[in-house]
Amino acid sequence: DQQVKQNSPSLSVQEGRISILNCDYTNSMFDYFLWYKKYPAEGPTFLISISSIKDKNEDGRFTVFLNKSAKHLSLHIVPSQPGDSAVYFCAASPAGGTSYGKLTFGQGTILTVHP
Amino acid sequence: KAGVTQTPRYLIKTRGQQVTLSCSPISGHRSVSWYQQTPGQGLQFLFEYFSETQRNKGNFPGRFSGRQFSNSRSEMNVSTLELGDSALYLCASSLRVDRASYNEQFFGPGTRLTVL
């Protein structure tokens, strides 16, 4: 049972435009969400996070939106740059003792930004 | 500040052998988590250690084990290797010290294990 889903395996965007990556989750115990970027042969790099008490968090070109009622979050990258081309993973963590160190990841979305 | 380091970066073993992977967390980070990444299953949580104690464990067989040392460095061991154990093994460290705090995990580059 996949508790975190990224339904779009890939996304292609023109440089300078907005990239929107989507993520859905099913476990209502999740209350902390993160986005990671991953290049081939490297470990994931942390981008931005959001807790369930917020519905938006911004950091430079990256904004994450959380819709708890829909169990949906999205990552907006504006403006998109060719260097943003990578695999993007959504991850979630529940509060409480069962969450120690455990992130549940989606399958990833390959973002390609064309010059 | 130095990032998370993992050794070795690449490893080739044969079925039935055992392997030990090493992870050094970011200085000051006491929580270390391990993940397995495969094309079919994605990134899956193996276990987490804090202050030399395993606090959480994922759904992997007992052949997968780990430990943490007093300096927070961690090792994971896989015994009786199977072909399906071929994967990228990632270690992540975090400042997280209690259930109420939210701390991001910072990943190392991973160890690519190939089982022949």
Among all residues of chain B, which has the CA nearest to that of A41? Answer: B109
Residue type, B63: R
What's the confidence (pLDDT) of residue A67?
Answer: 97
What's the confidence (pLDDT) of residue B25?
Answer: 97
The pLDDT confidence band at residue A2, using thresholds 50, 70 and 90, is confident
Residues A56-95: tens digit of each pLDDT = 999 999 999 999 999 999 999 999 999 999 999 999 988 7
Compute the mean pLDDT over every residue in chain A, rounded to the nearest whole number. Answer: 93
Rg, chain A, Cα only: 14
What gap in Å lies between CA B108 and CA A42, rounded to an integer?
8
- Whether chain B has a CB inside 8 Å of the CB on A108: the answer is yes
- Whether chain B has a CB inside 8 Å of the CB on A93: the answer is yes
Pair B108, B37: CB distance under 8 Å = no
What's the confidence (pLDDT) of residue A88?
Answer: 98
- Give contacts of B 42-61 with A, CB under 8 A: 42-45, 47-50, 55-56, 58
Q: Strand, coil or helix: what is A16?
A: coil
Nearest to A108 among B32, B42, B107 (CB): B42
What's the confidence (pLDDT) of residue B99?
Answer: 56
The pLDDT confidence band at residue A100, using thresholds 50, 70 and 90, is confident
What's the confidence (pLDDT) of residue A22?
Answer: 98
Nearest chain B Cα distance for residue A16, angstroms: 28
The pLDDT confidence band at residue A101, using thresholds 50, 70 and 90, is confident
What's the confidence (pLDDT) of residue B97?
Answer: 64
A101 Ramachandran zone, left/alpha/beta (phi>0; psi -120 to 50): left
Q: Do B42 and A106 touch (CB under 8 A)?
A: yes
What's the confidence (pLDDT) of residue B2?
Answer: 81
CA distances from A34 to A74, A104, A113, B33, B99 (A): 10, 10, 21, 16, 17
Q: Give percent of chain A above pLDDT 90.
A: 78
Torsion angle (degrees, nearest 10) of CA B53, B56, B59, B64:
-20
Low-confidence ranges of chain B (pLDDT < 70): 1, 97-102
DSSP state of A52: T
